[in-house]
Amino acid sequence: MSNSAVIGRIFSVLEAVSASGCASAKTIADRLEIPLPTVYRLLHELEDASYLVYLKEDKHFELGPKCFELGLSFQQRLVAPFPIRQITDELHRALGTAAYFAIYRGSDIILTYCSDCEKHPRLRPLRFGFHEAAHATAFGKILLAGMTSTQRTEYLDARGMQVLTPQTIVRRDLLDDHLTEVATRGIAWEHDEFLPRQTCAAVPVRNGTGMQVGAIAVSTPSTKANGRTKEIESTLRERAGLCSRYLRGGAVTVPVTEHR
């Protein structure tokens, strides 16, 4: 077996344990269709390296301290700066919606901050580090619209365009036409494309050179978005301007708004 195949199996084992929270060797072997002796060997190698721990009483494996160290390092590098978090929180309060901030990271589009509450919850698949379904999310569309044609093709070819709802755009020609409109208008909307009965909107955030480096977005039940297009768009653009001003190195004063 090649080195790359061995590495692939190691990551598959880690992902299987992570997805379950904890798992036995037999469960992992059945799920991955890998011989049980091979799974045992990989599990014990990962345990020796502190990427997994073995719970003797339960006869299960869990993620070990090295995984948590990697996760913490990842979060510290990607977490949105405090002023950006302040602006996103204020957007959440001003519109009475969940609010999000996403950035480019290498070849990925990654969500780095969510602001929500019990009354205005985030869309449950969305969390820190989320980087899937750019074709179906408003912040993903903003960042796709900012890519060159070659970059967009490479991105979508590598990740595909999964059908999430009956409204999800999965034809490349239709998506390209839609992204041209997004780039022209400077705002992306998605209605029921990521989740049924949910509406999202996003606008770009730019750095000191004018380069698009992120997006700020909101989500709300579609029934609550009706008749609020202008309000949502103007509020988003104002907060995106504050984020861009901060990234250009300028001081920002975040307005304080009472929760809607």
- b/e per residue, 179-212, with b = 16+ CB within 10 A? beebbeeebbbbebbbbeebbbbbbbbbeeeeeb
Q: Are residues 116 and 243 in the same domain?
A: yes
Three-state secondary-structure class, residue 91: helix
Per-residue pLDDT reduced to its tens digit, 47-83: 999 999 999 888 899 998 888 787 766 666 667 788 9
CATH number at residue 20: 1.10.10.10
Determine the Cα–Cα distance for residues 222 and 31; give it in Å rounded to an integer. Answer: 38
Question: Could you tell me the pLDDT band of residue 248, with boundaries at 50, 70 and 90?
Answer: confident
Q: Are residues 38 and 83 in the same domain?
A: no
Segments forming the whole domain that contains residue 152: 79-247
Q: Are residues 59 and 147 in the same domain?
A: no
For residues 27-53, give the mean pLDDT: 91
The residue whose two tokens read 């692939």 is: 8
pLDDT at residue 88 in the model: 95
CATH number at residue 153: 3.30.450.40
Q: Are residues 16 and 97 in the same domain?
A: no
Count of domains in the chain?
2
Strand-pair partners of 189: 201
Per-residue pLDDT reduced to its tens digit, 161-176: 999 999 999 999 999 9
Determine the Cα–Cα distance for residues 164 and 142; give it in Å rounded to an integer. Answer: 19
pLDDT at residue 53 in the model: 93
| For the chain, counts of helices (H) and of strands (E) | 10, 7
